[in-house]
Structure 1
Amino acid sequence: MKILIAPDSFKESLEALDVCHAIQAGFSQVFPNADYKLLPMADGGEGTSAVLSYVLGGRWKEVRVHDPLMRPISAKYLLLPDATAVIEVAQACGLHLLTVAERNPVIASSYGVGELIADALEEGVKRIIIGLGGSATNDAGVGMLTALGMTFHDSDDTTLAQGGGALASLQRLDATSFHTSVLETVFEVACDVTNPLCGTLGASAIFGPQKGASSQQVNDLDQALSHFAAICEQQGYQNYQEIEGAGAAGGLGYALMSFCQAELKSGFDTVAEVANLLQHISDADLVITGEGKLDAQTAMGKVAGGISQIAKMSQTPVIAICGSVDGLESAQTSQFDVIMPSIQKLDTIDNVFKNAYHNIEITAANIAAAIKLGQSIK
């Protein structure tokens, strides 16, 4: 029996590869001779490059870049064997790099993301996959573009300061020194956010508060980003501000589309394509996936939902192991053949997280035992 184990991480408790090992440990108690394929998955956010490193190999490169407040830090990205770089914006401009008191999207910059891209271009890559998620910035990607050679000026022709707030003073941009390799490189952006750049559903309004913006700052930033898009359009650049995903990562989605000709794709679809997931599922007799919580959002770009859809197309049985279930209590009302929550007893949330590996292993062993029993029933 060929068993493909392809879960997402269980947030705050286990990385995807650890979940794979727990499921395999449980199943191996019952089916020790099965052919197991471990394929940890991700949805394009944080952790995606680690998953692709496990699946495809490659090498990590550490680079000195600048954090959202322009302080020097070390960040890393993945170089795959096929001249592809995988960059997570959170490595350079992640919210986790700042204390709560330091969060300020008016001045936070995506400059470090541009430094990572520039380094990858110097490595000679032909494709760059960028994971948008967990950013502390709201600068429409201007920091990133600055690191790639563009300059931005006010009415006095003074170079703008870093951060989204400064964009309110933008009068012109200059791409004379823009990195020459950008337009010779394929940019694929893993993005599950559908927000436009501006407006009530835009980057500032929806994500600004969690990045530290006050109500007034949200309004100011929204106007600044709208002004930036207008200036870009005046200078002949395609205006993508209403396109779904333009507001991702504080407007990095907009900048990548407008200046790098990037294609925005579902994060899961991006990872699935690079990892050759369809072929792995087609080769399997059984697929086991999972994530921390199965709910109505599972089918909307999440790993478990995406895997179940591919498995159904391949007519391969699919089992979901999760921490908890909300609204998908019956497999008959979902896209899975079996749904099995792993929490064994009422407990504190800290203990649930701490015992996640053990609970998943027990759950997997019980599922395997049920399969074996079913095989013996006449």
Structure 2
Amino acid sequence: MTRASAPRVILAPDKFKGSLTAPQVAAALAAGVARISREADIRRVPVADGGDGTVEAFVAAGWTRVEVTAPGPTGVPRRTAYARHEATAVVELAAVVGLATLPEGRLDPLGASTYGLGVVLAHAMDNGATDIVLGLGGSASTDGGAGMLQALGARILDVDGLELPSGGAVLARAAQVDRSAMHPGIALTTFTLACDVDNPLLGATGAVAVYAPQKGAGPDELDVLESALSNWARVVGPDFARRPGAGAAGGAGFGALAVLGAQVRSGIEVVLELLGFPALLVTATLVVTGEGSLDQQSLHGKAPIGVCAAARAAKVPAIAVVGRTLLTADEIRAAGFAGCYALADWEPDPARSMADAAALLECVGARLAVERLA
């Protein structure tokens, strides 16, 4: 087989949460494929949908990792990073003020803030970024993006003209927002929200009702936060509160839409576009994607579905490799996949499957090469 006629395989998995990062998943699959199909042209393109792992996916693709110190969701300084290529920066909320960044995992549903996210955005603009992709997901706070805006120079004032501290609950006292000292780079920057949810800010499907319980909010705290965000929306822009994606990441989407002029796009579509994925599909023989669990939630804009859709549009078969699947064979076919390999079929014990994921993925890669590239 000549190199020109060798199969070209694109490995574009998301992370296997709690087990392996997307680059690690791609590396394990590549080792298995290469063991069987030594002539295969294997391209590793780990992906993400805007949530945790997004920055690492871009760093793996050759983008520059930019280190910065910023406050976490409860104000404790921590090292974080964003990805940069020329004038474009990819900032991941989860890496700065996400649930995983809480000190010792201590939840603070009323006081947690997105202030640190604004610090990272300012750093990117200070260093020449004029096109910022903000990945939303995994937030530890429900502050409507207020902290992010405060870090960018906004002053949130009460009826007496006193400046409010950061946090979600205090927004019940917000009366006006002084934008006069906001970062000058905002006017020169395009903000894109990479987001896979379409929740509004308020109501039964909003940021508080759907997401605040996982951030530690009980019934009384839910009432406090809903009231606070309702007031915040009144002060900043009620129309923006109703927009799809305004409720993403504890309402950070709302703050970005209303004040930064951001636009919402499918997270995986933005990621694939920036990674040059469409161009790779032109000569591809097979696309392999996947995540830890392929289930009903996956069907609503998660990374593997977006990868599969792009492959189908280019008439390239797409295979899912997952830790487990809760979908039926018919649902997998309806989603567009030409096949699905689950680690659970090799190792049914979930704990062992997660612990041995790299070795199992290498076995799957080898099996895939035998069955799909022969």
TM-score higher than 0.5 here? yes
1:340 alignment counterpart: 341
1:356 alignment counterpart: 357
In structure 1, C-alpha distance between the alignment counterparts of 2:231 and 2:98, rounded to whole Å: 25
Q: Is the partner of 2:235 in helix, strand or coil? A: helix
1:29 alignment counterpart: 35
In structure 2, C-alpha distance between the alignment counterparts of 1:316 and 1:146, rounded to whole Å: 46
2:283 alignment counterpart: 283
5+ unaligned residues in a row in structure 1: which ranges? Answer: none
2:224 alignment counterpart: 220
In structure 2, C-alpha distance between the alignment counterparts of 1:53 and 1:346, rounded to whole Å: 31
CA shift in 2, pair 1:218/1:288, >3 Å: same
For each residue in 1:271-306, what CA deviation from the matched residue of structure 2 results, as whole angstroms up to 9, or x when unmatched?
A: 011011111122201112222222233332122211
CA shift in 2, pair 1:225/1:337, >3 Å: same
Q: Contact between 1:30 and 1:368, CA under 8 Å: does it hold in 2?
A: yes
Alignment of 1:312 with 2:289, yes or no, is: no
TM-score (norm 2): 0.93
Q: State the aligned residue count.
A: 367
AA partner of residue 132 (structure 1): L
Alignment of 1:301 with 2:305, yes or no, is: no
1:9 alignment counterpart: 15
Aligned-pair CA distance for 1:260: 0.6
TM-score (norm 1): 0.92
CA shift in 2, pair 1:337/1:101, >3 Å: closer
Query: How do 1:72-221 residues align onto structure 2 when only pairs under 5 Å count?
Result: 72-80=77-85, 82-99=86-103, 102-221=106-225
AA partner of residue 65 (structure 2): W
Q: Is the partner of 2:89 in helix, strand or coil? A: strand
Q: Is the partner of 1:229 in helix, strand or coil? A: helix
Aligned-pair CA distance for 1:100: 7.0
Aligned-pair CA distance for 1:349: 2.4
Aligned-pair CA distance for 1:321: 1.6
Stretch deviating more after TM superposition (12-21 or 265-274)? 12-21
Q: Is the partner of 1:320 in helix, strand or coil? A: strand
Q: Is the partner of 2:109 in helix, strand or coil? A: coil
For each residue in 1:221-257, what CA deviation from the matched residue of structure 2 results, as whole angstroms up to 9, or x when unmatched?
A: 1111111111124xxxx73101111011111100101
Stretch deviating more after TM superposition (314-323 or 330-339)? 330-339
CA shift in 2, pair 1:354/1:198, >3 Å: same
Q: Is the partner of 1:152 in helix, strand or coil? A: strand
Query: How do 1:242-281 residues align onto structure 2 when only pairs under 5 Å count?
Result: 242-281=242-281
In structure 2, C-alpha distance between the alignment counterparts of 1:144 and 1:36, rounded to whole Å: 40
AA partner of residue 125 (structure 1): A
In structure 2, C-alpha distance between the alignment counterparts of 1:44 and 1:75, rounded to whole Å: 16
AA partner of residue 183 (structure 2): H
Q: Is the partner of 2:165 in helix, strand or coil? A: coil
Aligned-pair CA distance for 1:99: 5.0
Aligned-pair CA distance for 1:329: 2.4
1:45 alignment counterpart: 51
CA shift in 2, pair 1:25/1:212, >3 Å: same
Identity %: 35
For each residue in 1:300-328, what CA deviation from the matched residue of structure 2 results, as whole angstroms up to 9, or x when unmatched?
A: 21222112222222111222222222223
In structure 2, C-alpha distance between the alignment counterparts of 1:180 and 1:77, rounded to whole Å: 20
For each residue in 1:54-107, what CA deviation from the matched residue of structure 2 results, as whole angstroms up to 9, or x when unmatched?
A: 21x232222222122222222222221x21111111222121222577312211
CA shift in 2, pair 1:102/1:2, >3 Å: closer
In structure 1, C-alpha distance between the alignment counterparts of 2:208 and 2:334, rounded to whole Å: 37
Q: Is the partner of 1:244 in helix, strand or coil? A: coil
Q: Is the partner of 2:83 in helix, strand or coil? A: strand
Q: Is the partner of 1:104 in helix, strand or coil? A: coil
Q: Is the partner of 2:58 in helix, strand or coil? A: helix
In structure 1, C-alpha distance between the alignment counterparts of 2:339 and 2:239, rounded to whole Å: 46
AA partner of residue 170 (structure 2): A
Structure 1 stretches of 4+ moved >6 Å: none
CA shift in 2, pair 1:116/1:199, >3 Å: same
Q: Is the partner of 2:36 in helix, strand or coil? A: coil
In structure 1, C-alpha distance between the alignment counterparts of 2:96 and 2:294, rounded to whole Å: 31
CA shift in 2, pair 1:361/1:186, >3 Å: same
Q: Is the partner of 2:208 in helix, strand or coil? A: helix
Q: Is the partner of 2:79 in helix, strand or coil? A: strand
In structure 1, C-alpha distance between the alignment counterparts of 2:93 and 2:215, rounded to whole Å: 15
**Higher alpha-carbon Rg:** 1
1:60 alignment counterpart: 65
In structure 2, C-alpha distance between the alignment counterparts of 1:68 and 1:368, rounded to whole Å: 44
In structure 2, C-alpha distance between the alignment counterparts of 1:351 and 1:101, rounded to whole Å: 25
In structure 2, C-alpha distance between the alignment counterparts of 1:11 and 1:200, rounded to whole Å: 28
Q: Is the partner of 1:239 in helix, strand or coil? A: helix
CA shift in 2, pair 1:141/1:298, >3 Å: closer
AA partner of residue 84 (structure 1): T
Aligned-pair CA distance for 1:347: 4.6
